[in-house]
C-alpha cells in the first residue's frame, strides 16, 4: 500500500472498518467520518451541518445517518443524511 499524499489520508484497513463500523480520519482541513454500512464504504465531513456536532456519534440505519443534534438541541429536529451512492 502506498503512503498517503497531501491529498489523501490513510483511513485504516477495511477489516478494522468492518469491525468498528465507523472511523474518524483527521484530514488536512477537517475530520472525515468513514462509515461501513451494508457492504459499502462512505466518507463525509464529520460535522453536522445543522449544529456542528460530530456525526460519528449519530446513528446509521438503512443507509441514513442521523446526527445527535435532535437530542442535544431539544426542539430542533435532527438532520438525516443519505449516504451518496
The lowest-confidence range among 16-25, 27-36, 39-48, 74-83 is: 74-83
Burial (0-12, 13-18, 19+ Cβ within 10 Å), 34 = buried
- pTM over 0.85? The answer is no
pLDDT of residue 14: 93
pLDDT of residue 29: 78
pLDDT of residue 19: 93
- Residue found by looking up cell 462509515 in the block: 35
pLDDT at 44 over 70: yes
Amino acid at each position: 500500500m502506498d503512503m498517503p499524499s497531501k491529498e489523501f489520508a490513510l483511513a485504516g484497513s477495511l477489516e478494522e472498518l468492518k469491525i468498528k463500523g465507523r472511523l474518524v480520519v483527521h484530514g488536512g482541513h477537517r475530520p472525515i467520518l468513514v462509515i461501513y454500512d451494508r457492504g459499502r464504504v462512505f466518507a463525509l465531513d464529520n460535522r453536522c451541518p445543522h449544529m456542528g456536532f460530530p456525526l460519528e456519534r449519530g446513528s446509521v440505519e438503512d443507509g441514513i445517518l442521523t446526527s445527535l443534534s435532535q437530542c442535544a438541541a431539544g426542539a430542533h429536529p435532527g438532520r438525516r443524511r443519505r449516504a451518496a451512492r
